[in-house]
Structure 1
Amino acid sequence: MALTPDDIRRIAHLARLELQPHESEHMLTRINGFFAIVEAMRAVDTTGIEPLAHPVAAFQDVSLRLREDVASEADQREANQRSAPAVERGLFLVPKVIE
């Protein structure tokens, strides 16, 4: 896939950018270069290759340092909602702002 100068003008218009002609040419070259990289990556046969959970996992074992999922503080919902103007079934009620 390659973009044309018309595509660049349309994208600039949609993004509300004012590009000078030399800037437009530069963007065309850079974006088409990006698409060329994507096409080169798509051409690689990755059949049978498992995705990596982390980029470093390709050359060393990675163990994720996750903490235990336990509550560390007492439930303070009622105390926190006492000052709220409106609460229903444990939820804050707010005025409707979008019609």
Structure 2
Amino acid sequence: MSLTVLDIESIANLSYLYIDKNQVYDILEKINAIFSLIKSIKSIDTTNIEPLYYPTSLIQEKMLFLREDITTQNNYFENYQNLAPIIHDNLYIVPKIF
């Protein structure tokens, strides 16, 4: 599937977007490149490949384990709380704007 200049202008009109005449060809080229990439991905033969339902199943199959979830930074919660002008239940109180 590829788009034409008229398609781009129509989409811009329906989207209430202003596209300069000089930009139309650049946008057309980029969108058609995306469609070309999608077409090439669709052409890949995946008949003997099982779908991957969960990304973690691949990690477990290959015995790749994630590192432990360890905090590597200091906790500056108290310092930030002390800097705030008004705090209520550990929340920062800010003035209303509207």
Q: Work out whether the TM-score is over 0.5.
A: yes
Compute the TM-score of the two structures, normalised by the length of structure 1: 0.55
CA-to-aligned-CA distance 1:14-72 (integer Å, 9 cap, x gap): 11001001211111011000000000001101002112222893784578xxxxxxxxx
Task: Return the alpha-carbon distance in structure 2 between the equivalents of residues 50 and 41 of structure 1.
Answer: 17
| Secondary structure at 2:28 match in 1 | helix
Structure 1 or 2: more helix by fraction: 2
Q: Distance in 1 between matches of 2:25 and 2:50?
A: 39
Structure 2 counterpart of 1:57: 58
Runs of 4+ in 1 over 2 A off after TM superposition: 55-63
Q: Which residue of 2 aligns with 1:4?
A: 4
Structure 2: tracts of 5 or more residues without a match: 66-98
CA offsets 1:64-90 (integer angstroms, 9 cap, x no match): xxxxxxxxxxxxxxxxxxxxxxxxxxx
Q: What pairs with 1:14-29 in structure 2 (closer than 5 Å)?
A: 14-29=14-29
Asked if structure 2 preserves the Cα contact closer than 8 Å seen for 1:5 and 1:25, the reply is yes
TM-score by length of 2: 0.55
- Where do 1:41-80 residues align within 5 Å? 41-52=41-52, 53-54=54-55, 57=58, 60-61=62-63
Q: How many residues align?
A: 63
CA RMSD in angstroms, aligned pairs only: 2.6
Q: 1:4 to 1:40 in 2, by over 3 A?
A: same
Structure 1: which 5+ runs fail to align?
Answer: 64-99
